[in-house]
Structure 1
Amino acid sequence: MSFLLNCLKSYPPQRGFDHATELEHGARPPAQAPYRMAPAELAELRKQLDWLLEARLIQSSKAPYRSPVLFQRKQDGSMKMCLDYRALNKVTIKNKYSIPNVMDLFDKLTKAKFYTKIDLRSRYWQVSVARGDEPKTMCVTRYDSFEVLVMPFSLTNTPATFCNLMNDVLYEVLDRFVVYLDDISAEAGYLFVAGAETSTV
């Protein structure tokens, strides 16, 4: 986490692709209670909340929205904090932006001998939540309620927003690289060409 904190010393710039959450007409703000947690989960929750506050990725809020927090155990034994936006997602108008077909992308890699794979660090956190929509991201815990200032991965339209951003940023090279959300692959028939292609990204 310390490495990510150094990378995220400033709020993401406004890029014209801020994540907006538009609700269905007449939808009420979902308001749920915090989930019960074991002592180890509470300790981890406090640790991660302190880190997110220090990184300025969340802020305390009194908005009417309430989405609970839960933990998912990762393969290495660590705990990943997840925001349960299922109730919010049910009343969110879905973004129909088309995600690339994975099989079409694989077809582009079949003739290459060398590959370079780039996995973007802190991916979705590079996108700001649209101004005025921060209250909709609110998560509730036993310690406080917080708005998320950068795009959470569990909102229903997050993949569409990020795909739109990546396609815009890499528009000129979409026929040369394989771009799927936060994964970018450069392929080439010769090693020195693969290196040059990677430097382009």
Structure 2
Amino acid sequence: MPCIPRKIIEHKLGVDPACKPVKQRKRLFDPGRSLIIETEVDKLLIARLIREVLYPTWLCNPVHVTKPDSSWQMCQDFTNLNKACPKDSYPYPRIDTVVDSFVGFYILHFLDAFKVYHQIYMARKDEEKTSFITDRSTYYYSTMSFGFKNTGATYQRLVNKTFKSRIGRNMEVYIDDMVVKSRTYEEILEDLRETFETLRSIQMRLNPKKYTFGVPSKKFLGFIVSHRRIEANPEKVQAIINMKTPTSVKEVQRLTGRMAALNRFLSKSAERGLLFF
């Protein structure tokens, strides 16, 4: 799978040299999960996203994450490796500032990167540290993968650098969420042409199944954005309506957490929230 050139961006772990490498013991999985692991490994090998490795100093195990459709996805348990990596303090955009910026833009175009993290190479000196073990062999990642610490910061650094002349003008980007915004129908073609030329220049690939072009509003970062204002996400409102009356501290905490996501849409939310305590 082609990736963004190394001269543009690489993911660097920055492992603390004082931390000793950790080799996790190989875990046992039932036949069904083992088959999922080996099937996913075959796909990654074909796409050249992983390679076999000999004598790794760091070693972790696969884990299974449940997807929204209840199927399983293979990830890696990078707990030990992540503990040895410092936090990347690169700043993320303020969500409230981003969603407020759509006021006055009547046509919106939503884009989604294809296998977003796998498009960024690992720094060569860090590749071997990403090693994991299966029933068949040991492998390392040649690209960034889900589960590494600081992947969001690396991706935000990439998009800020790539779209620096356009963010706020006719585009907004929050990690891998990209929106092109046009004020008039006459501006649409130019805004999209500029976007795709920029993406082509860094060899970033998009997921055609998740395109949405020319809509007046859509969900973005948990809000409904449009040219008029932002609106509360109906799904979050309905989730609160469907809740049973809280009968424990944990359930009250769950309610206040859901209410917090709607604070900006509620008058005197802080005062009214005191009733929960």
Residue 34 of structure 1 contacts residue 69 of structure 1 at CA under 8 Å; is this kept in 2? no
Residue 69 of structure 1 contacts residue 84 of structure 1 at CA under 8 Å; is this kept in 2? yes
SS across alignment from 1:172: coil
Amino acid at match of 2:114: R
For residues 81 and 107 of structure 2, what CA distance do their matches in structure 1 show?
Answer: 43
Deviation by residue 1:8-59 (Cα, 9 ceiling, x = unmatched): 2x45422342111112241011211233322211111111101111111101
1:195 Cα deviation after fit: 4.0
What does residue range 114-153 of structure 1 map to in structure 2 within 5 Å?
114-153=107-146
2:55 matches 1:55: no
Answer 1 or 2: higher relative contact order, Cα 8 Å, separation at least 6: 1
- The unaligned stretches of length 5 or more in structure 1 are 1-7
What does residue range 11-90 of structure 1 map to in structure 2 within 5 Å?
12-62=4-54, 63-90=56-83
Identity fraction in percent: 25
SS across alignment from 1:59: strand
Structure 1 moving runs of 4+ over 6 Å: none
Deviation by residue 1:154-181 (Cα, 9 ceiling, x = unmatched): 1111111111111111111112211111
Residue 24 of structure 1 contacts residue 93 of structure 1 at CA under 8 Å; is this kept in 2? yes
For residues 101 and 188 of structure 2, what CA distance do their matches in structure 1 show?
Answer: 14
Residue 23 of structure 2 contacts residue 57 of structure 2 at CA under 8 Å; is this kept in 1? yes
Equivalent residue, structure 2, for 1:5:
none
Deviation by residue 1:91-148 (Cα, 9 ceiling, x = unmatched): 1122111111211111111332221111111211111101111011111222211100
2:88 matches 1:95: yes
Residue 3 of structure 2 contacts residue 120 of structure 2 at CA under 8 Å; is this kept in 1? no
Question: Could you tell me which of 129, 151, 174 is aligned with 1:180?
Answer: 174
**Larger radius of gyration between Structure 1 and Structure 2:** 2
Cα 1:141/1:17, change in 2 over 3 Å? same
Q: For the aligned residues, what is the CA RMSD?
A: 1.6
Residue 116 of structure 1 contacts residue 194 of structure 1 at CA under 8 Å; is this kept in 2? no
Residue 61 of structure 2 contacts residue 132 of structure 2 at CA under 8 Å; is this kept in 1? yes
- The unaligned stretches of length 5 or more in structure 2 are 196-277
